[in-house]
Structure 1
Amino acid sequence: MPDQPTRSAAHFTPPGQPVFRSFNTLGLWTLYMKEVRRFFKVQTQTIWAPAVTTLLYLMIFTLALGGGANGTRIVLGVNFASFVAPGLIAMAMINNSFANSSFSLLVGKIQGTIVDYLMPPISNGELMVALVGAAVTRAVLVGVAVAGAMLLWPGVSLSIAHPWAVIWFGLMGAVLLALIGVLASIWAEKFDHNAAITNFVITPLSMLSGTFYVISNLAPAFQTVSRMNPIFYVISGFRFGFLGKSDIGDDNLAVLHGAIGLGVLNVVLAALLYALLRSGWRLKN
């Protein structure tokens, strides 16, 4: 019997080099649901606690700066409570998006379970989409919970003037901080590194983004600095969706420039994150 032809070694993938011939929908969905269930199992801490904390922010700043419990001080044509509420909702969304996405890979590296993310048959792009998607899901749930809590405070109106702005800036802001969170988790080697980014980068950018004030009250130099802060556009654009007015402008065209810039920034960060995941920097080395 003649020998069966042997297959050339050139037809085989080199050892350790994964090959993905199609989009792994099941793998992507499985990882996404794993991340969602992880934060949903402790929803009191991850969803409802931010709602209570943000409501306390609203109470304190309305009483201190708003001229009373009903926020009788007028800012951008509305009472202070209605002015500050959209910014607080957006701030809660982006902070929780960062907290969620910056956790998984870092814990995997510290506990030695990072292989659970690197070994499954999913591509780097699918890994990135699953982690970012879960963080955005948490951000949306927190936003809904915070908005519901805001309605308990007297004087707050959350009527929507421009739905597109609420949806776009809410989602793009969550995606922005989710991407930054995954980048931070790749760079960080311990929880102190992640906490440093939170305390010295994310929190200052969030608090100095015009959440509690309009930047027209600042000196020109500080107005310029504020406009270099991407979270400023998230807060102002999200507020424009509710009030129809913002620091960016009072018409769709003015806010549209900020929306496009935010989208471009997310594309750039996504490309950077994909390159890092593909290289395995601080994950496989």
Structure 2
Amino acid sequence: MGQKVKTGYQMGMRRFGRVNWLGLAALADREIKRFLVVWTQTLAAPLVTAGLFLAVFTLAIGPQRGEVLGVPFTAFLAPGILMMTVIQNSFANTSSSIVISKVQGNIVDTLMPPLSAMELLLGYLAGGIVRGLMVGAVIAAALWALLGQGVAHPLWLFLFLTLGAAFLGALGVAAGILSNKFDQIAAITNFIVVPLSFLSGTFYSIATLPPALETASRLNPVFYLIDGARFGMIGASDASPWLGLAVVFGATAAISALCWRWLQTGYRLKP
């Protein structure tokens, strides 16, 4: 009679421990299926975009450009375009998911289930990371088939691609929380994400920059993602991959902690 009624979350904690594995898996599954349903936009389109970037820069600059970091310009360019495409798609997946829910008015369907802030964050990140890695796998396969581009250090490449997808996925969660409409997400993409991607050594070695710009580039976490992917693919880089790993891991942890706090308090999510 006097026994308290247990919530679904409390019962879930007793059955599965302190993590609602079933709810987390359901959210991750939803986020992955979101982009798989429209695979022509989320997987095929990035491949075309990456191919166009590679073709334009190779045709316009390649014949006049010598080796960069000891490899042909096309081989130097390929990993940068690969990483740039991966992180942009990871950001788009998490940010669009939250903003679409806000615009359609069904964000409450995500907030009401017995999911903690960490479980919500991991569920959203799962979709962004899986989409980023799938895009990366498609582009890497195309580079190997069309250009014969191999991978010097597969584990390093996979590690940096995963961290890159996680970092921009978390940044996408933050952008989705802050934004209430698509115009705001577009502004963040155009004025933050794209400049960070383009001004990070994607199309050039930062060793060719003036000292001030080179120093500024080394303060950009995306530079270490591009550089790490380049090390993984061609075995050469402008910075130590261990330094890049530390910087990117720290940046990912910092933005993830911020997202966790906002999800925990319902900042700009709860009416």
Would the TM-score normalized by the shorter structure come out above 0.5? yes
Q: 1:213 aligns with which of 188, 198, 204?
A: 204
Q: 1:266 aligns with which of 220, 242, 252?
A: 252
Max radius of gyration: which structure? 1
3-state DSSP of counterpart to 1:102: helix
Q: Trace 1:32-181 onto structure 2 (pairs within 5 A).
A: 32-67=28-63, 73-153=66-146, 156-181=147-172
- AA matched with 1:246: S
Structure richer in helix, relative to its length: 2
Hey, what's the Cα distance between the residues in 1 that align with 2:143 and 2:148?
Answer: 9
- 1:190-239 CA-to-partner distances (Å, cap 9, x unmatched) read 11110000000000110111011001111000001111111000000110
Q: Which moved more, 1:183-192 or 1:156-165?
A: 156-165
Is 2:12 the partner of 1:26?
Answer: no
3-state DSSP of counterpart to 1:88: helix
- AA matched with 1:24: N
**Residue 190 (structure 1) aligns with:** 181
Hey, what's the Cα distance between the residues in 2 that align with 1:64 and 1:98?
Answer: 29
- 1:96-129 CA-to-partner distances (Å, cap 9, x unmatched) read 0000010111111111000111011221111110
Deviation, structure 1 residue 157: 4.1
Hey, what's the Cα distance between the residues in 2 that align with 1:266 and 1:77?
Answer: 31
Structure 1, unpaired ranges of 5+:
249-253
Instruction: Using the aligned pairs only, state the percent identity.
Output: 43
- AA matched with 1:107: I
Hey, what's the Cα distance between the residues in 2 that align with 1:203 and 1:212?
Answer: 13
**Residue 200 (structure 1) aligns with:** 191
- AA matched with 1:273: C
- 1:214-270 CA-to-partner distances (Å, cap 9, x unmatched) read 01111000001111111000000110011111111xxxxx22021012112111111
Alignment check: 8 A CA contact 2:43 2:134 kept:
yes
Q: Which runs of 4+ in 1 moved over 4 A?
A: none
Deviation, structure 1 residue 162: 1.9
Deviation, structure 1 residue 12: 6.6
Is 2:269 the partner of 1:278?
Answer: no
TM-score by length of 2: 0.93
Structure 2, unpaired ranges of 5+:
none
Alignment check: 8 A CA contact 2:156 2:229 kept:
yes
Alignment check: 8 A CA contact 2:31 2:126 kept:
no
**Residue 251 (structure 1) aligns with:** none
Alignment check: 8 A CA contact 1:82 1:157 kept:
no
Hey, what's the Cα distance between the residues in 2 that align with 1:36 and 1:260?
Answer: 28
Deviation, structure 1 residue 158: 2.6
TM-score by length of 1: 0.88
Hey, what's the Cα distance between the residues in 2 that align with 1:221 and 1:157?
Answer: 36
Deviation, structure 1 residue 159: 2.0
- 1:142-193 CA-to-partner distances (Å, cap 9, x unmatched) read 011112222354xx34322222320211111110000000000000011111
Paired residue total: 266
> Quick one: higher RCO (CA 8 Å, sep 6+), 1 or 2?
2
- The alignment yields a C-alpha RMSD, in angstroms, of 1.9
Q: 2:222 aligns with which of 217, 226, 231?
A: 231
